[in-house]
Every structure is written in C-alpha cells, then in structure tokens.
Structure 1
Amino acid sequence: MEKKKYNKIVLAYSGGLDTSVLIPWLKENYGAEIIAVSGNVGQGTELDGLEEKALKTGASKLYIEDLTDEFVNDYVIPTMQAGATYEQYLLGTSFARPIIAKRIVEIAKKEGADAICHGCTGKGNDQVRFELAIQAFAPEIDIIAPWRFWELNSREKEIAYAEAHNIPLKINKETNYSKDKNLWHLSHEGLDLEDPANEAPINKPGFLEMSVSPEQAPDVPTNVTIHFEKGVPTSVDGVEMTPTQIIEKLNEVGGANGCGILDIVENRLVGMKSRGVYETPGGTVLYKAHEKLEEITLDKETQHYKQSLALKFADLVYNGQWYTPLRKAMTAFVTSTQETVTGDVTLKLYKGNIIPVSVTSPYSLYSAGMATFDEDDCYDQSDSAGFIHLFGLPLKVRALKAKEVEDFPGVE
C-alpha cells in the first residue's frame, strides 16, 4: 500500500532503540522533515548527547522540554493522593505519556506539522496513552505508528538496522531489556524476564539502576520523616523541599535500602499478560507515608469510598484516559478529601521493608480516650447493646420468619 505523503513529521523521541532508528526510517519512507521532541520527566543522564544524536541521524531539530515539575505536581501527586495502584504497580510510565504527548501536540501545531509519529509497539499500552492524548488535543493530525506495519518487527532487526545506518546505541543484543525511566520509576521488560519461571536478576550487577536489592541493602535501618500539607509532601526530615526534590530525596534513601522493587505479571490493556520488574523507591515510600496519614485524618466512609475509587482511577491512568471528564472529576473529589491530610509520618526503611514508626496530625480523628481498654468517661459501653440490637435486626427478623416457613431459602 502506498504511504501517504507528509511535509513535516513530529517524532516522540527518547533516544532509545525504537526512536533512534525511526528518524532515518521516516526520512527514507516519507521524505519528510523530521522534528524530534523529547520530554524531560526526570530521566536524568538518558538525555545526555540526545541533540547531537538526533541531528546526526537526520532530524532537522530537537526540542528537549523540561516537564519534570509539571509532571510531578499535576500528574504524580494527584495519582498518589488518590492511592491509585494498578495490580500493585505505581503507574510510572502510565502518567508520563499523557504530559509528553500533550507537549508534542503543542509543538506540532507550532511547527505546522501534518503528522505525529511514535515508536510504541502494537502489543503495548503506550500506543494507547500517546494516541488518546493526541486525539484529545489535535484530532485533525495524522498519527504514524510504524511498529504496526514496518519490516523492523523485532528488536534484533532494529539493532541490525541501527548498525547498518551507523546509529549509536547504548544497548546490544545481550543487554537488550526494554526499559522506561522517569523521576518516579524505572521499568524492565524482555529477555529472561519474559519467562515468569526465571528469577528476576535483581542481584546481577547493572540490572537495577535506582535501587539495590534487599540482600545488598545496609544491615542498619534508616528512619525518614515526611511532612504533608493537604496531601502534598512539603519536607523530609525537617528540610523543606518541592515535591520534585522530595521524590529525588526519597529515591536516594529508599533505593539505598532496597525499597520499591516490584516483580509482577500484569494484565496489559491490549489483552495479554506481561512480566515486568519495576523500581519505584521514592514513590513506594511516599505512597506508604500518605496512606498512613490518611488512616488518622479521614473518616471511615470517606476512607472506604476513596479506596474503592482508587481502583477505577488506576484503570483510567493505566489505560491512557488521563484527559477524560471522569478522571478530572475523580481528581476533584480526591482533592476535596485532602483538606485535613496534614501532618508528619515517620517510617523505618530496612532491607526492602517500609515499617511505620509514628504518625501525627492536628486533624487526627484518633481518640486514645475512646479506644483505650482502661477505664474512661467518654464511652458508655452499655450503649453497644442497643446498637447491636438495631444493627442485627434484619438478621433477627429473617431468622424468626424462617421458623415460620418450612425450607426457607438460604437458611442453614
């Protein structure tokens, strides 16, 4: 089938294997000007030398957009406040894609591009996350997804193409894990991880990048105290920081103690199961601290309803539906629940474990006087008899009726 002609294509460019080969491949197949865009969401040294590489392989220019603070403040923190996890996974890649795609659309419009290209595979979740965001902000722009139709349909073929076109890569056939990194996490997929029978090589030198394995963590625990204001972390161990700086600090402390390593077989949006290893050291510590503070600051009904909402919130984020009315409405609800989530949480980090030490808040709903087993003057225990009578009344009425009716359904 003849390919459609484009004048200018904006490419979501990370400098990884897929997007490294895409610049020359797009030029060969479309003859268009290629403008590369990289979103800095805290992936650090992965951005080093990116501009030189993009230009040498055929891009006319490279935008490197610093999105880190916006990523943390507008995507990470609201998801953390919701308590959203997808099958234990803290949604690292999931909420990075929408913000990057949104910025790519802005640049595509600025440049007058008639197409946007991404290097996501047809088997993964990221294709959905990118394209739903593009559709939300630029439904008129064509999307090119080469993995769905090109001849480079394996990572081995991509590496061979890169070598033939003198494209420098940081990987080879032996270290060819599929990875995605940002400030919040690092994911590992592929190679020996594709078989769940294989133990994850977390003790293998060079595999983990943000953490050490629990076995290699110090034999002495580390205590860390996090302060929250209305559900937003504002300081660590008494030192005021921005949320971005706090995640950086907790990555350092949590990673050093082997926290936040997750090995799971998850259910992808496209229907298959996929095995991955995730490193989320700071995020795991932050989630635990926030959850602990909510235990004493949220009433029972709000806490329980919020926990049920968290599952749907996680599905929306994982499935690329960040820019939907439902996700926005859910965030509005979550934000309203955070009004009293202020206080200090101290956690003990030890060989991958995150152990609560203390939690305090000026809005604590916990009353030692009411909860005590000792004598008190604020709770009349005889009141419980009437409460239990009314609470159990439906059961009592049903049991009495069962005595009148033979073979009453559901009665043992």
Structure 2
Amino acid sequence: MCFLNGMVLVQAEMVSSQKEKNSLFNHVSATLSQLDMEMIQSVPQGGNWQDIPSHIVEKSARLMQIRESGGRTTYYGRLHPDYPSYTISTYFNRPGNGTFIHPDQDRLISLREGARLQSFPDDYRFLGSQTSMYKQIGNAVPPLLARSIAESIPVGLAVDLFAGAGGLSLGLVQSGHRPIVAADNNRNMCLTYSYNHPDTMTSLSNLQNTEDFENLCNLIDNTLHGRTLQLVAGGPPCQGFSTAGKWDSRDSRNSLVVPMLKVIQRFQPEFVLIENVLGLKWMEKGAILQRIISILDSMEYSTQWYTFKAEAYGVPQRRRRIFIIGSRSGDYDAPTPFFASVKRTRNRDIIQYSSNQLPLPISVREAIFDLPEIESGNISHIQSYNGESVLSNYQKYMRDEISYEEFLKSVQS
C-alpha cells in the first residue's frame, strides 16, 4: 500500500501476476545516438575517453572540453570484466558520466545489470518511468552492504526514511529485521518499494511538510501498537544542515536530516542508522558530520561513523559510503569484511587489493555475464533467461538458486 495524505493508493496488484520465477525484469539498455556509438566502439575494456580517436572527439563539444580540461578517467569508461565496477550512479544511461559501457557489447549496461552490480536480486522489480528507474537503482543502498551492517544490530521493528526503491530495507529484511513503515517523497520510488515490500506501510511523504510529517508520525505510532521501535534508518541529504546550533527546517538547500532527527527524538529507537555519501566527511570541513553526531549524543546515543567499501561485503562495485550508527546500549560491532577491497591508486590500470588473505571481490564478469545479449535501446522490460548458462555463484544467488549462506561459503572455501 502507498499512502498520500492519508489516502491509500493501490498499485502493487497491477503487475503482481507477472512476477514469475523465470522472468527477467528491467533488462533494458538506454538508446544511443550514432555519435555515442562511435565513441563507445572506440573504448576497450577498462578504457575511457582518452582512448577515443581525435576525429571522433572533434565531433563532440563535451569531449573537446574534457580533453582540454583533463576530465575524470571514469568518463566514457568501459567496464573491465575482471574487476568490480565503479560506482553505479543515477546517470548510467549516459556514456559520458561514468564507466557504464558493457565490457563485451557496444551498449551501456542495462537497468538489470546496474541492479545486479548494486546487489539487487533478479526478482526485485523496478517500476515507474525508465528515467526514474535509473535514479532508483543509482541512489539505492546496496542490499548486501545493508545486510552486513544490519546483522550487527539486534533484530526488531524498523522504520526506513528516504527509503527510495528499498535497497536498505531489503538488507534489513535479509538480516531478520522487519520494516513496518517506509517513507519517500517520490511516487515512483514508493511504487517500486511497495511492490517489493508488500508487508511494509509505504508513505508518500514530504517530511519538510508539517502535515506530511505529522501524518507519518501517526502512521508509525499506529503501526507500532505500543511495541518497541528497534531502528530508524535512512539516507537523508545533508547539504543544508545548519552547524550553528539550531535545526532550520526553512533551509533552502533541503536539509532533510532535520526531520529524520526529529523522528528519532520522537520515537527514541534503540538504534539509529544514517547513510550518506563519502563527501559528508569533508562538508564544511567535517562540521556537519560532527554536528549530527553531537545531536545524537545529546539524545543519549553512543554514536560512531564508519566508511564502508561495498565490494568488501559481496557487492560487485567500488562504492564507498558513510554510515552513522547510534546505539542506546553502546553496543555496535562493525561487520568484518568477507572480501578484499580495491585500494585507490593513481593509475587506473593498476588494481591493488587490501588483503591477500581474503577472496577477491566479485567481478563484473561474475555479476552479469549470464544475462542475455541485448541491443542498445531495447524496450522489452520482461524477458526470460533463455537457458543462458550460469557462470558464478553470485549469479546463482541473484537468480535465487542458492542462499546467501551458500554464496558466502562458496567464495570463502
């Protein structure tokens, strides 16, 4: 169910009949122009804009600008099959915004391939406009990362704010938690969340709106029925958060961490989990991060922040995120990595790992090479596996052919 100002919106039933075991959803790749195709055909595995010949570069004002200014080496990048991908952003429908070209095929990775690289299983379906689906996948917390973090929190009832497509909630569910209420201000996000989490009350809410905020709090209250709330989790934007001492809900930069902190203050859960981009460490020279921690400390939470590397927890992607974790009991043990992580080096062509004692992280090949070949711009959102052979245990896990425990055991043995 999806709520809007107290009104129930029914949507999950519209597509539930198509949720079949052998169906492959969202395996759709963005349409490319003729110039885009010339560009990506010039880029080898692991390559980038620097590999595009001058006669093609001269056709593109953007490429000319990148060449003159020396843009990031991830621009116009083609994935290397033997390494984890770079960060999957909300713009993986554009070749010039990152490393999103398929390793073997002359196209961008599909929505489903992006979801696989984020560790969403294949039966997790994305709804809404295609533009929204890219944002849903790119903005999501990778479920396997969320699962590892949540497994160190005693299981219980949870609320997921700024829930997006539900990646964080999926990790919570996989680790035994029960999300009872989720909220987001985007209707397509709510559609996807509600379809994949039918047992969670999904609220379409703008938490900066006083009426929406109160309606959400009433929904949480009514759903709890006097039970203990174990966890409030979410990933609010923090750009507009004031470090001056007061919470300013009028801030024009959308400081959505403010209503989240107010929900925490109101319901006093046992644990708090706030996810954010790595840049939060440096925002206003770290003052915003420290301000959030000090407010949680004033609410009697023992609070720490951590930088987690997604590939160390089974996600086939080099994604770094900050998690602020507060506990009323003072007990939280950060999860131990299962895989080696990729060390940052100045040379894109040199890959170094954090440990030679741990298994190598899941590669792009292991993540997506079982999926059917498709053309750029295909429009069929429901396909089948067409008997493609499974090449890795990660692929088996994505297809729900083996359990999470079997997947981990297979790579650690």
Q: Same fold per TM (> 0.5)?
A: no
Scaled by the length of structure 2, the TM-score of the pair is: 0.25
Scaled by the length of structure 1, the TM-score of the pair is: 0.25
Q: Which one has the bigger helix percentage?
A: 1
From the CA coordinates, give the structure whose radius of gyration is larger.
Answer: 1
